[in-house]
Structure 1
């Protein structure tokens, strides 16, 4: 039982310390680190275990330049890799009662798993949702049925990077016990 408590505290500490990185070193991320980050996404839960996602890891200079065109922030251009999670509505579970499609939820879960795995590896990330979707799809050669809701740069934070303290509501403000 003690090891479970230690792991829970370790996870809570990771969740508390993880923050968006907007200042990257350009040195590459080792393949084994990338592999563990991607594996965390592969292991993520999804509705009915359909795993409707696809991971695209952009690392080559030519492809990075194309993808950079979808998001104009200068700091974004310094990351040595970009991880894009996509999927198709037709591959996701649909709730029969109201036709809710789980794709967005499933993609968010897998990306969050990979962002937390990256944080554990010391790799910085920043969830990006405000981007030019058509520019990104064109850069990656994706068709219209492929959906992208968010992506993240991957890279080691610069030495001068200072995490912004988290400002969160208290549990009592967001929890109802019945």
Structure 2
């Protein structure tokens, strides 16, 4: 699939089949995250692979939407800000930027394999920390269900280039 096709095909899936994700596909998806660039190549993250059936109640506390626990797997990307690069001239820690890049690699690889995802940033942090048993070093930043889509998708509109791009 051409890259332009891939990015047009990706959407936020809100309905999943229970079909399991094949190990070779899951490994390919996880490896895409590992290959993602991070500031000074710190790779200050962990990817948690959560079995939805085993942890359904805990996941429902993290993000209480029925479709979130339909997929067989939920991934959580947890970052270690103290290990992430910080710009020395203004003190900006890029942990969240790295998280977006890593999760985007994961999501695009999943899409290429026919597996649905949805960026989740609006979750309950403390419920996530409890489930994952995170210490203070790591903080959960993004989640995504991982499963074969069982919805019709959404035809969401996008603003035009003229509205969003500024040439100087």
Class of the TM-score when normalised by the shorter of the 2 chains: over 0.9
| TM-aligned CA deviation for residue 165 of structure 1 | 1.2
Q: 2:94 aligns with which of 75, 78, 102?
A: 102
3-state SS of 2:28 partner: helix
3-state SS of 1:55 partner: strand
Matched, 1:33 2:25: yes
Answer with 1 or 2: which has the greater Rg: 1
Q: 1:14 aligns with which of 6, 18, 22?
A: 6
Matched, 1:165 2:158: no
Distance 1:27 1:135 in 2: 26
| TM-aligned CA deviation for residue 100 of structure 1 | 0.5
The one-character-per-residue Cα deviations of 1:134-167 (angstroms, maximum 9, x if unpaired) are 0111011112331112110000012xx1111131
TM-score, normalised to structure 1's length? Answer: 0.89
Distance 1:145 1:174 in 2: 37
Matched, 1:42 2:42: no
> What is aligned with 1:141?
133
Unaligned runs of 5+ in 2: none
Unaligned runs of 5+ in 1: 1-6
Query: Is the CA contact 2:120–2:144 (under 8 Å) kept in the aligned structure 1?
Result: yes
> What is aligned with 2:47?
55
Output the aligned Cα RMSD.
1.4
Matched, 1:119 2:108: no
| TM-aligned CA deviation for residue 61 of structure 1 | 2.6
> What is aligned with 1:130?
122
Distance 2:153 2:59 in 1: 26
> What is aligned with 1:79?
71
Distance 1:49 1:105 in 2: 13
TM-score, normalised to structure 2's length? Answer: 0.94
| TM-aligned CA deviation for residue 60 of structure 1 | 5.9
